[in-house]
A and B are shown apart, each in its own frame.
Chain A
Amino acid sequence: MDDLKNIFSLFDTEYITEYKTSWLKVKLSFSSNLLDVAQMLQKNGLRTISTISPTDFIDENKIEMNYFFEDLVTKRNCWLKCDIPRELKHCKIESLSNLFKGALWHEREAYSMFGVKFLNHPDLRPIILSQDYYNKFPFRKDFDWQEHEKNSVENMNLIVESFQEEEHLSENKLDPNSSEMILNWGPTHPASGPIRLKVHCDGEDILGIDPDIGFVWRALEHLVTQKDFVGAIVAVERLCFMDNINSMVCYAQAVEEIAEIEITEFAKWMRVLLGEVGRISSHMMGMGGFYNAMGLHTVAMWNMDMRELFLDFLESYSGARIATASVEAGGVRYGLAPEMLEELQKALDKFDATKEDIKNIFINNPTMKMRAAKLGILTQDEVQEYALCGVVARASGVKTDIRIDEPYAAYDQIELEYVTQKGGSAKDRLFQLFEEIEQSVSIIKQAKKHIEQKIEEGEFNPTKDYMVKMPKKLPKGEAIARVEWARGEVLMHLVTQEKAKSPYRLKMKAPSFNHTMMVEHLLKGETLSDIPLVFGSLYICQGDLDR
């Protein structure tokens, strides 16, 4: 930490404060210093940019840029802020993507949503948005959504026209004497989900890939600001509802931090329990997706069979199987009844009974190893450079896990170790998924035992102290919260105004965004058969890719 402070003593800063356990929060006086600061931070070991989040303060006529630097090795983080003018003409800042490759798409996103021009960015095209939003910068506070909706027919026509134009152009650019062609892998493709990979290929060989994302863009970050603090959870959980609980936990933590409220011990343990159930149900789908990519649906079906019982637990707890909306700021939404834990025990028993079969047939599968062991290899350096996280990062051997690095909920009281693999190939990512399911099951067992014990001792009252009263209006403030989501680190940056009834700005950093960046890097020079496998092994969900 002191090294970092020394760096900032060289520059003009408005304030330097320590934040949480591992963060240093700094505001630069001049945005022109940014590049130099970033360079020095990188030399100091902070090689990862987690995300870039502009906030539009329309009353103060400025846009505040937030950069989140992380060091995955020594766990020192830095939250860097600086102001830039709001007028489109002067809304410019130096690009960091030549230093930090992971910032490449985040800067494009900031450009398309807020109109922040990044100087010297190698490829500053709009991303996520459809053509009708180009150069309108929808997340600026003065953008009129209703007005835009009124012209929906013209907007649709514009999208179709520009798509046809683009297709025409790209086909014409091809050399007529070569056998190169452009194959659209998605958005309506059996294995793609709503994403389009423009694959330039020569027969079966891939020459290059250009991902086109944004097909399920719901503008969640804007939607949240239209709702009150409680109602926002239904937007937050739709980040991707394979693991919807942890994203709500993250949002709730940010709100609690601004409201300065401490939740009850019981609610903390419940968050662990529910969160791990969510993680398991997501990882099971992930394993299924990996094998589906190779045309084998048995794993997905068997996992669904097990997952069903975990969802039964969620249903008996919250009343819904998928979109549970079960974590609110202030605790968890419902109390706990003893028969629910019995339901959970059934699910755990079923997992223990099926585990060996899955391990024997599908984890130690020679055909799978033949295909996946040498494919899609990510090194530790690449993980740091591109800000990869979660399963993908740990499969490459990087020891990063927010549950241990920055314990939230009751994770500080739980026995937990880094689970990592060595190789970083597609196969290792599958292994990682399976081992993390096992780890989650062990966490659930610990949490369940602890909760049962405390209820018996009378320290927890499961029907009463699941929730503390939250104030209706929040003070002015901002907070960041991080959780280890199923797919990796989720970082939420929440800004509120004075006497706020709803969030002013919520930035959600979701892992799939960075992982999709790697698709081209991993697939160049491979064959068409490897696209679904690499894509499936990166564990991408379009929900949190587009938001």
Chain B
Amino acid sequence: MILEILKKVLRVSRALFVKSPAQEDVRFTKMHTSSRYRGKHSIDYETCIGCDSCNKICPTGAITMKHLPFKKQNIVPEVNLSICIFCGLCEDVCPTKPHKSIVLSGGRYDMISGGWHKDQEDFWVHVDIPQSYIDARLEEEEAARVKKELAAKKKAAEAAAAKAQEGEES
């Protein structure tokens, strides 16, 4: 029996010559190369149509919708990463084509940085919309509104004219 144990002892030492994935130093290389790797979200506010379906499907309620000062498409998702479980269902349901507006596959894996309490507090994916974009959108909406109003006025004028004509005829 002691001989048996000795044999096992010798065989274990063969592990010294085996290279294993744990022995690779990955401090300076990318660990996860899968294109489907589910990491930090990136949210495209330009294509997002504000349909709210990512918020509805999220199983943990990690997504909140941020309100924008527009009339249409006026919400955009923001993700609380300390609640998120990275299941990727929000990406699955996102209806925009050809690119999804909320994407976490291929995302970053090194999300916690700094290690201070405030870094944890700020563990969010925020959507930072530049003022110029907001202004442009507002202008666009304003232009659309003006155009619509003009069209309505024109229509009203035309209708009035038509009525007047009708009145004249009768």
Contact = CB atoms under 8 A, between A and B. Distances in A.
B85 interface: yes
A315 B1 CA distance: 44
A366 B88 contact: no
B140 to A, nearest CB: 34
B8 A365 contact: yes
Interface in A210-235: 227-228, 230-235
Given A230-B57, A231-B59, A365-B8, A309 B87 contact: no
B22 A305 contact: yes
Contact of A315 (B8, B32, B60): B32
Contact of B87 (A234, A308, A357, A365): A234
B80 interface: no
Given A319-B37, A319-B88, A323-B86, 18 more contacts: A228-B57, A234-B59, A234-B85, A234-B87, A234-B89, A235-B59, A305-B21, A308-B22, A315-B32, A315-B34, A319-B34, A320-B88, A357-B15, A360-B11, A361-B8, A365-B8, A366-B4, A366-B5
A320 B59 contact: no
B57 A302 contact: no
Nearest to A354: B18
B36 interface: yes
Contact of A316 (B12, B21, B36, B60): B36
B20 interface: yes
B35 to A, nearest CB: 8
Interface of A: 227-228, 230-235, 298, 302, 304-305, 308-309, 315-320, 323, 325, 333-334, 357, 360-361, 365-367
A406 to B, nearest CB: 29
A378 B85 CA distance: 40
Interface string B30-61: 00101011100000000000000000111110
Nearest to B56: A228
Nearest to B8: A361
Contacts of A334: 36
* Contact size range, B: 20 to 34
Contacts of A302: 15
Contact of A361 (B11, B38, B57, B105): B11
B14 interface: yes
Nearest to B58: A231
Most buried by A among B5, B32, B34, B57: B34
Contacts, number: 69
Instruction: Report the 9 A-B pairs with minimum CB-CB distance, sorted nearest first.
Output: A319-B36, A231-B59, A319-B38, A316-B34, A325-B87, A305-B20, A234-B59, A366-B4, A361-B8
A309 B59 contact: no
Nearest to A366: B4
A227 B22 contact: no
Contacts of B88: 319-320, 325
B110 to A, nearest CB: 16
B158 interface: no
Most buried by B among A233, A318, A334, A367: A318
6 contacts: A231-B58, A235-B59, A302-B15, A315-B32, A318-B36, A333-B92
B11 A357 contact: yes
A323 B85 contact: yes
Interface string B1-28: 1001100100110110000111000000
Given A333-B92, A357-B11, A320 B38 contact: yes
Contacts of A315: 32, 34, 36-37
B14 A357 contact: yes
B12 A230 contact: no
Interface string B135-160: 00000000000000000000000000
A489 B59 CA distance: 26
Nearest to B22: A305
A280 B34 CA distance: 21
A302 B36 CA distance: 27
Nearest to A301: B22
Nearest to A315: B34
Nearest to A227: B59
A304 B59 CA distance: 30
A247 to B, nearest CB: 15
A241 to B, nearest CB: 11
A66 B38 CA distance: 40
A361 B12 contact: yes
Nearest to A353: B18
Contacts of A316: 34, 36
Most buried by B among A308, A315, A317, A367: A315
Given A228-B57, A325-B88, A309 B36 contact: no
Contacts of A227: 59
A234 B1 CA distance: 49
Given A228-B57, A231-B57, A319-B34, A366 B1 contact: yes
Contacts of B57: 228, 230-231
Nearest to B7: A360
A227 B88 CA distance: 15
Given A227-B59, A230-B57, A366-B4, A323 B11 contact: no
Contacts of B12: 298, 361
A522 B85 CA distance: 39
A317 B34 CA distance: 8
Contacts of A231: 57-59, 89
A359 B61 CA distance: 47
B92 A320 contact: no
A196 B145 CA distance: 68
A272 to B, nearest CB: 21
Nearest to B106: A319
A367 B5 contact: yes
A235 B86 CA distance: 13
Nearest to A314: B34
B21 A317 contact: no
Nearest to B37: A319
Contacts of A365: 8
Contacts of B56: 228
